[in-house]
Amino acid sequence: MTRRIFAQSGWFTVHVYDSKSDQFATLEKTEEPRPRLEKIQISGADFSFIRDELSRLGISHASMFPDLDGLCRDILWNHTLLEDE
């Protein structure tokens, strides 16, 4: 397991391959897991607030991506204005 998968409590999934379309089926199109899936859409107006709340709870680029890239993105986020701010 990589540090990212561990930090994100990640799971691997197995998808059905459709040879006609030459693609793997998405989870939304696969019958068996569908009752256990829930899609959550966050409106653009709420995005900044939720991102700030997650940060206060310790969920950030640095915690989700525990490598140099995640640390740099976290520092950048904390010290610059983002496009939606």
Ordered by start, the domain boundaries in the chain are 3-79
pTM for this prediction: 0.54
H-helix or E-strand spanning residue 20: none
Check residues 7 and 63 and name the one with the higher pLDDT.
Answer: 63
Check residues 25 and 30 and name the one with the higher pLDDT.
Answer: 25
What pLDDT sits at residue 26? Answer: 81
Per the structure block, which two tokens stand in for 15? Answer: 């998808």
Q: Can you spell out the DSSP letters for 17-66? A: EETTTTEEPPGGG-TTTGGG-------HHHHHHHHHHHHHTT-SHHHHS-
- Residue given tokens 């206060």 in the structure block: 56
Q: Is the pLDDT of residue 1 over 60?
A: no
